[in-house]
Amino acid sequence: MTPHAILPDKETMYQAFVNKDASFEGLFVMGVRTTGIFCRPTCPARKPKPENVEFFPRSGDALAAGYRACKRCRPMEAKGSIPSWLRPLLAQVDAAPTRRWTSQDIRDAGLDPARVRRWFQAEHGMTFLAYLRSRRLGEAFSRVKDGSPILEAAAAADFDSVSGFCEALRKRSGASPSKAKERLPLKVQQVSSPLGPIMVAGDDQAVYLVEFWDRRMLETQFTTLEKRLNAVFFPGKSKASQQMADELDAYFQGETTTFETPIKFPGTEHQQAVWQTLLSVPSGETWTYGQLANSIGKPAAVRSVARAVGENRFAIVIPCHRIVGSDGNLTGYGGGLWRKRHLLEFERQKNFSS
Ligand SMILES: [Zn+2]
């Protein structure tokens, strides 16, 4: 799922949308920043201003960027391509987009989870569960996009979406307002970045989480903090999270590679050792998992070190993106491999120029 897949140029695609040109079906989908909705090329919807649109090779890419599928042109359903065995399942999803599905639920619906996964992977570049997650998050988050002239308008819309997300978390954990008083209140704000929105959670003293909004483990990470700290989340800005937002901005402007905002990362002793050591991997460099295991004095624990790297709650700030496979392969990244590639390239170039 790469955002850099080859697309026709923007003018051509925009024109195709204006003309409802069916020959472009399947080549791209178009996201409209002002509405947060994405459409197929032949959607009968009114044409948006060209500066408010962006294009994606596949529906999965638009979903991952935080767009919701248009209800009129139904871009998730490439014309006539939905096999009949899958239709009942998709109808159920449409009826209750926020429902959480397990593999067992899919089996109960009379389908083979592996078959469903393969179809989604081939058709949309993501698994069925990732598709559902994207839809759920899409309901909760705004679709702030980088570098757009409507950034301010989008930023103004942030509050509501973050507030929806926090509310959903609180509902799930059953934290009533009165009970919430005994808990650690953390404010959650959304920060725009060239790699998409980033969630920052903190209080006035420290930041506890910095994550890309569409990260697979985002909800898990919030739940972990809830449990470990007895935390409860509210939308808003805190002193520390605002400082972090400014530093992230400076990072993406190429003005800094280090972060001074106090951070707290509660975890097991092992996790904390790994995260602390990650902080010493310099920008512009990469380490292997083996090197990292060596430097915490556990050369044989590569696998559990890798797991702790994956459990990092601080995208960019605790630079787990600088850890690669022993053969130089990028291996995995919670925020998506395309982001890891971008971050490493960005830091490498900066190192040369500074
Ligand atoms: Zn549409």
Instruction: Compute the distance from residue 70 Cα to the ligand 1 centre, in Å.
Output: 4
> pLDDT (tens digit, 9 = 90+) per residue, 164-218?
677 667 766 665 555 555 778 888 888 877 777 788 999 999 999 999 877 777 8
Note whether residue 132 is domain-resident: yes
In the annotation, is 39 catalytic? yes
Most confident range, picked from 159-168, 226-235, 262-271, 343-352: 262-271
| Structural domain count of the chain | 3
Instruction: Compute the distance from residue 98 Cα to the ligand 1 centre, in Å.
Output: 21
- Give the domain-ending residue among 69, 94, 110: 69
Instruction: Compute the distance from residue 154 Cα to the ligand 1 centre, in Å.
Output: 20
Note whether residue 243 is domain-resident: no
Q: 39, 43, 70, 73: which is the annotated catalytic residue?
A: 39
Among residues of the chain, what percentage have pLDDT more than 90?
Answer: 32
Instruction: Compute the distance from residue 16 Cα to the ligand 1 centre, in Å.
Output: 14
Q: Determine how β-strand 323-324 pairs with β-strand 207-212.
A: unpaired
- Residue 159 structural domain: 79-182
Buried b (16+ CB within 10 A) or exposed e, 165-203: bbebbbeebebeeeebeeeeebbbbbbbbebbbbbbbbb
- How long a stretch of residues is the chain? 354
* Residue 112: CATH number of its domain: 1.10.10.60
Instruction: Compute the distance from residue 32 Cα to the ligand 1 centre, in Å.
Output: 10
DSSP category for residue 339: H
24 or 263: whose pLDDT is higher?
263
Q: 43, 70, 73, 320: which is the annotated catalytic residue?
A: 320
> pLDDT (tens digit, 9 = 90+) per residue, 19-59?
988 777 777 899 988 888 899 998 988 889 998 898 988 77
pLDDT for 5 equals 47
35 or 241: whose pLDDT is higher?
241
In the annotation, is 166 catalytic? no
Q: Are 117 and 127 in contact (CB under 8 A)?
A: yes
Instruction: Compute the distance from residue 53 Cα to the ligand 1 centre, in Å.
Output: 13
Instruction: Compute the distance from residue 43 Cα to the ligand 1 centre, in Å.
Output: 4
Query: In the chain, which ranges are continuous DSSP H helix?
Result: 10-18, 59-64, 87-95, 103-108, 113-124, 128-140, 151-173, 177-180, 218-229, 239-252, 269-278, 289-295, 302-310, 337-353
Q: Which two tokens stand for residue 2?
A: 């790469």
Helix axis angle, 113-124 relative to 128-140, nearest 10°?
Answer: 70
Note whether residue 246 is domain-resident: no
* Residue 9: CATH number of its domain: 3.40.10.10
Note whether residue 316 is domain-resident: yes
